């Protein structure tokens, strides 16, 4: 039997599988991923550096960026990221915290979080 077609088919499969497609990631998505990772790792210095190099302020992206379905502050509470959580709270306006939704969420899900007191103090509650 003649085996050349199998060899050609095998070569074609190997050649096609050696190329992979990676979807392009835009800068905003990459920035959001980095912010979420730095919060989860409680790495305040890298978070500050990333925000500064991107010329972005926490208060300007607070409502837009979601980490695992949570806003930045809730992500910090859930990750037990006290340093980055305090940094986020200090860089938010008081009005962003006065509705009490984040406090109620934190008390209901992570009652022992030290960030609850920080949020209450900043909100004036």
- Alpha carbon distance 65, 70 (integer Å): 8
User: What integer pLDDT is reported at residue 22 of this predicted model?
Assistant: 44
Which of 4-18, 25-39, 95-109 has the weakest average pLDDT? Answer: 4-18
Give the pLDDT confidence score for residue 26 in this predicted structure. Answer: 65
What is the C-alpha to C-alpha distance for residues 43 and 37, in angstroms, rounded to an integer? 9
* Residue 7: band (very low, low, confident or very high) from pLDDT cuts 50, 70, 90: very low
Query: Within 10 A of 100 (CB to CB), how many other CB atoms are there?
Result: 13
pLDDT at 96 (0 to 100) = 87
Q: What residue segments make up the domains of the chain, in order of their start?
A: 26-123
Nearest Cα to Cα of residue 33 among 11, 2, 1, 61: 61
Question: DSSP H helical segments within 1-125, as ranges?
Answer: 4-17, 27-40, 44-54, 58-61, 72-78, 82-91, 101-109, 115-123
pTM summary value: 0.75
Per residue in 46-62, pLDDT (tens digit) is 999 999 999 999 999 99
pLDDT (0 to 100) of residue 21? 40
User: CB within 8 A of 2, min separation 6: which ones?
Assistant: none
pLDDT reading at 15 higher than 70: no
CA 125, CA 121: separation in Å to the nearest integer? 6
């Amino acid at each position: 039997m003649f085996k050349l077609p199998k060899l050609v088919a095998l070569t074609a499969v190997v050649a096609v599988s050696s190329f992979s497609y990676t979807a392009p990631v835009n800068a905003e998505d990459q920035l959001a991923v980095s912010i979420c990772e730095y919060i989860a790792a409680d790495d305040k210095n890298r978070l500050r550096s990333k925000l500064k190099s991107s010329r972005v302020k926490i208060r300007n992206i607070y409502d837009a960026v979601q980490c695992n379905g949570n806003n930045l502050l809730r992500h910090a509470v859930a990750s037990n990221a006290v340093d980055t959580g305090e940094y986020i709270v200090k860089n938010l306006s008081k009005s962003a915290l006065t509705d009490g939704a984040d406090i109620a969420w934190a008390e209901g899900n992570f009652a022992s979080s030290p960030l609850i007191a920080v949020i209450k103090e900043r909100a004036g509650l």
